Amino acid sequence: MLATEQPSHETLYAALCEKDSAYEGLFFFGVKTTGIFCRPTCTAKKPKAEHVEYFSSTKDALAHGYRACRICRPMTLPGQTPPWLKALLDEIDGTPDLRLKAATLRSRGIDPARIRRWFQKHHGMSFQAYLRALRINRAFTQIKKNNRVTDAAFASGYESLSGFSEAFKNATGFSPSESKDKPLVSVTRIITPLGPMLAGATAEGLCLLEFTDRRMLETQIKILKKRLKAAFIPGKNPHWAALEIQLTEYFSGQRKAFDLPLVLPGTPFQRKAWQALQTIPYGETRSYQAQAAAIGQPKAVRAVAKANGDNRIAIVIPCHRVIGKDGKLTGYGGGLWRKQRLLDLEQKSQAF
């Protein structure tokens, strides 16, 4: 098993005191005086350091006799949709032009402020902005299928063409009539055992898959927007179902290779490096030097490392399998702890 320096107990205790979301999935902590275990971001009262035990998984915590906290719900995946919201989102998914005003939400027992906070935290936009984005995404798709702009506007729930055109341009940067020749990148959140990921796909294939807390995520999206000349809007995409199924199979140890169409805009060198990443066998690793040699440019070690960092499709294009020549883990946009977990998962699954 590859080793990486684990945070000290002092660091982990500081993380739980600060409710640091960067440590979500890295550890869980049990409180000896209550017999309860929590995730790092739990909002319950802070325990004393001497009363805390640390675990790498919920399974370990349960094996030591702890029971799950009812406040932070550590048995659910980080970022998972809470039960009070799931039914509403399922309804919205089936009816993308649905309009839900504050009074309607209250009549369903949902506090508008609560749902607004949840969407702001997990989607970076208000609930109403999310609903508008779904309608624009649907209209964009209809227009590209040679539907008239007017038909797409009214089918998406807009009562006036001018209002639709203004909303469309605000969301995409161009008018509805210009959209026929523009690509659309639909985006969605995918929940995984290592935290939520943001996925983006065109009609042709997947172009983005990154952990939502990656620091360079916004930069990667800007690069994709420029290279694809595309609008990024939350909404449906035919590739989501296969992506979710294959990620679930991967994390359960049942899938060793992905079979998804990919859209990889980049320089010839980047594309060559990304293709080489996909040749690293499951459960194995390769040094940056070996990776440079694999693409026929043994002296381009730094350039290969940079291309790895520019990879926008985590896990599917396994840049986590590249390590230092001394066997130590180095740079990973999703965090070294995730890189370690992915390698551990693959090595464990490979053993069976």
Q: Which residues are catalytic?
A: 319
- Cα separation values, 130 from 28, 100, 126, 188, Å: 32, 11, 6, 11
Tokens standing for residue 333: 């946009």
Tell me how far apart the alpha carbons of residues 82 and 145 are, in angstroms, rounded to a whole number: 35
300, 316, 352, 341: which is closest to 201 by C-alpha?
A: 316
Q: What counts of helices (H) and strands (E) characterise the chain?
A: 14, 10
Of 212, 203, 210, the closest CA to residue 237 belongs to 203
The set of residues, in sequence order, having a beta carbon less than 8 Å from that of 177 and lying 6+ positions away, is 149
Q: What angle do CA 78, 309, 281 make, to 5 degrees?
A: 80
